[in-house]
Amino acid sequence: MKHSKSLYLFILPGLAIYLLFFVYPTINGLILSFSSWDGFSERKWIGLDNYTRMLTGDSIFVRAFQNNMKFMISVVVFQTILSLFFAILLTKNTKKNVIYRVLFFFPTIISSIAVAFIWGFMYNPNVGVINSFLGNIGLDALSNNWLGNPAMAIYSIAFVQVWAHTGQMIVLFVAGLQSIPEELYEAVYLDGANRWQAFRNVTWPLVAPAATIVVAYTTIQSFKAFDLIFALTGGGPAYSTEILSTYIYHTAFQSSEFGYAAAQSMGFMVIIAIVTIGQFKLLRGNRAY
């Protein structure tokens, strides 16, 4: 079959949008990353200085990366396990299950700023409902300075992220679980398998492609969880919740170092790419089925 070259014209609108809104800003950002620019005066070309500074002379960048990893691991582990657990319970399309799925999905459609406002109030150590509730049931010892304790704050925000996005992942897992043929379960139970063995040998291998998507999506989502952290703690106290995206924002818009912020963004892009590619490689084996 002979293709007409004019067919390529059909990709032009999409290509134009891609070039303008993705390639051009990325290249512009890359060029900016080799400059010193305060956002007002003229740009000054400084070669690799921004990258040298980022890799060898910026302890906050390292700390932000560490916080990112803490946040990402907490969110990926708990969000994946919880969403799979609830998806298994809610696989069948009964009326009750659909209602539960809607309820679990509901936080996903609330804006991050509204979520931050709600949880900021709940976590408040002086007037928040969590500490009040714990106090009222005699568990005062468990009350905490959820967002003000530097050792605790990042995990408190990770909990909110899990709360807000588990419903979204449940939907992906339910779709994966519903595609597993019922006959496989009948066969494995006929062979005398218990529920755990059925999960291990049927459910998990066949839901693995959905798990791959969930893990990859959750990873990227947690790396870029800017709005929630910005609205809840702004990166504090004492950098304890500063992640790469909030740090880049602070570098650009508080320190007015746009060139350095662009270099940090490039580093951030590379980190996300490495983590995502690594995950895909690790989880690729799951696609054997």
Partner 1 sequence: MKKWFSATVFMIALAMFVTGCGNNGNSSKPNENSSAPSKSASESPKSVDNEKEVQISFIHWRGEDTKVFNELIAKFEGENPKIKVEMSIFPSEQYLANAQAKLIDGTAGDVFASYPGAQFETMFKAGLYADLSDVGFKSKYTENLIKAGQKDGKQYAFPYQLVYNQPIYNKAIFEKLNLTPPKDWEGFLALCETLKSNGYVPIAFPGADIGPGQFMNSMMMNNNTDEEIWAKVETGQAKVTDEWFVKTLSQFKELNDKGYFQKDSLGTSKDIAGSLFAQEKAAMLATGSYMLASNLALNPELKQGLLAPITVAADQAVYEGIHTTTFLLGVSARSSKKDAAKKFVEFLSQAENAEKYANETGQLVTVNGVNYSTSELQETVSWTSKKTRFHPRYLISVAAIEKAVTSSIQEVIGGVDPVKAAENAQKIIDQNLKK
Binding residues (CB under 8 A) for partner 1: these are: 5-6, 8-9, 12, 15-16, 19-20, 24, 37-43, 53, 57-60, 123-127, 145-150, 233-234, 236-239, 250-256, 258
Tell me how far, at minimum, the Cβ of 269 lies from partner 1, in Å.
21
Closer of 16 and 282 to partner 1 (Cβ): 16
Return d(Cα 48, Cα 77) in angstroms, integer: 37
- Beta-carbon count within 10 A of 285 CB: 8
Q: Please say which residue, 32 or 169, places its beta carbon nearer to partner 1.
A: 32
Shortest distance (Å) from residue 106 CB to partner 1: 27
What's the first-to-final CA gap in the chain, in angstroms? 34
54 near 61, Cβ under 8 Å?
yes
**Euclidean distance between CA atoms 180 and 216, whole angstroms:** 21
Residue (68 or 246) nearer to partner 1, CB: 246
- Residues 122-138 as b/e (b if ≥16 CB within 10 A, e otherwise) read bbbeeebebbeebeeee
- Measured from the CB of residue 152, what is the shortest distance to partner 1 in angstroms? 10
- CB nearer partner 1, residue 209 or residue 237: 237
Closest distance between partner 1 and the C-beta of residue 178, in Å?
Answer: 43
Nearer to partner 1, 174 or 261 (CB): 261
Find the shortest distance in angstroms from Cβ 15 to partner 1: 7
Residues 6+ apart with CB under 8 A from 244: 61, 64, 65, 68, 223, 264, 267, 268, 271
Cβ at position 73, least distance to partner 1 in Å: 23
Q: Which is nearer to partner 1, 138 or 254 (CB)?
A: 254
Between 150 and 181, whose beta carbon lies closer to partner 1?
Answer: 150
User: Min. distance of Cβ 201 from partner 1 in angstroms?
Assistant: 47
